[in-house]
Amino acid sequence: MKRLVDSEINVSIRPERLNEYIGQKHVVENLSLAIAAAKKRN
C-alpha cells in the first residue's frame, strides 16, 4: 500500500471552493465579497 506524504494529505482535505467550507459562514461571506470586489476592479 502506498503511503501518503503529509503534503498530499493536506491537499486532499483542503477545500477547493468556498462552498466546501464547513462552518465559519461569516468568514466565507466576507471572503466572497472581497473576491467579488477584486474581480470588478480588474
Q: How far is the C-alpha of 27 from the C-alpha of 10, rounded, in Å?
A: 21
* Contact (Cβ atoms closer than 8 angstroms) between residue 32 and residue 38: no
C-alpha cell, 32: 466572497
C-alpha cell, 42: 480588474
Q: pLDDT tens string for the chain (42 positions)?
A: 567 676 666 666 778 888 988 888 999 999 999 999 999 997
**Predicted local distance difference test score (pLDDT) of residue 14:** 79
Q: What is the residue extent of each domain of the chain?
A: 6-41
- Give Cβ neighbours of residue 18 (< 8 Å, ≥ 6 apart): 28, 31, 32
C-alpha cell, 36: 467579488
**Predicted local distance difference test score (pLDDT) of residue 39:** 95
**Predicted local distance difference test score (pLDDT) of residue 24:** 85
pTM for this prediction = 0.59
